[in-house]
Chain A
């Protein structure tokens, strides 16, 4: 442009011409056909309908979360059960090895612990119990 100044009208005139050549070369009928074809294909997909509800991502995520939670729950439960079973097993084995006096001593300690934790009740004399009764009592305390 030779003129240094450009007024708004000239600028707008230039803007109106911008892209005019490219727009003229656009094959509008071809574009219209292509757009209609793409829309037709999309509507076919829509008409085919959505996938079953249980295959939708939302429900697959929910299912995965449920499976995970159940799995974690089962693992925790198994570990707790096997842990308590093992400790009960070890205690039962050790009880077999204890003498009557040792058993009385253990129960005495337990008795003291229980007395400290709860108000004193009618006192049974541990000295009157036999070895079998003491073992049975200890097992019942194990739960």
Chain B
């Protein structure tokens, strides 16, 4: 039986980044394919209105590719991308607040929302979403990175430029407050 032809292993993120820096557009497209949904989930969890989600995901990727030379592999590409997405979401919140579309408060998500989206979300999920919007940004992001994305404190700390101990404290504060609100 002839030996099977070696199957090319899918390139890891670091290889794709190097390929993109060398001018390979398909490498950039592949990075988007790999991480766009996780990023969208993170942004939606952090309160991004669904109507803005597409633009926000694009913006986060564009910012990441522009700043790719500053990415030193201190954390995974996805974690780094999520923090960039968090910044893009914060900027969007400021823009919307200036236009008085939503309150200046961190209430980025439309409370009325898409009826389809509302119907889909269970009552508890909706309450959790509202609770997350009331948390300080650091607690919210640490909670989402840990609970939603399943990241380790070390990884979260590297991405958010803090210590693992501080990340753990933020997480526990977030959990405590969310539990109180969800009672």
Q: Which residues of A contact B (CB under 8 A)?
A: 1, 4-6, 8, 11-12, 14-36, 38-40, 42
Contacts and interface: CB of A to CB of B under 8 A. Distances in A.
B70 interface: no
B128 interface: yes
A16 B32 contact: no
A6 B62 CA distance: 39
20 contacts: A11-B179, A14-B125, A15-B45, A15-B143, A18-B41, A18-B148, A19-B41, A22-B50, A24-B37, A26-B40, A27-B54, A28-B33, A30-B54, A32-B32, A34-B58, A35-B28, A35-B29, A36-B28, A38-B62, A39-B28
Given A4-B183, A19-B45, A32 B40 contact: no
Given A16-B147, A38-B62, A26 B36 contact: yes
Interface of B: 25, 28-29, 32-33, 36-38, 40-45, 50, 53-54, 57-58, 61-62, 65-66, 117, 120-121, 123-125, 127-129, 132, 143-144, 147-148, 150, 175, 178-179, 182-183
Contact of A15 (B33, B36, B148): B148
Contacts of B61: 31, 35
Contacts of A29: 33
Contact of B179 (A6, A25, A42): A6
A24 B40 CA distance: 9
| Residue of A15, A17, A25, A40 ringed by the most chain B CB atoms within 10 A | A15
B40 A19 contact: yes
A26 B72 CA distance: 29
Contacts of A6: 179, 182-183
B181 to A, nearest CB: 10
Contacts of A19: 40-45, 148
B147 A22 contact: no
A23 to B, nearest CB: 4
Contacts of A23: 37-38, 40-41, 44
A12 B65 contact: no
Contacts of B58: 31, 34-35, 38
A31 B147 contact: no
B170 to A, nearest CB: 14
A27 B54 CA distance: 8
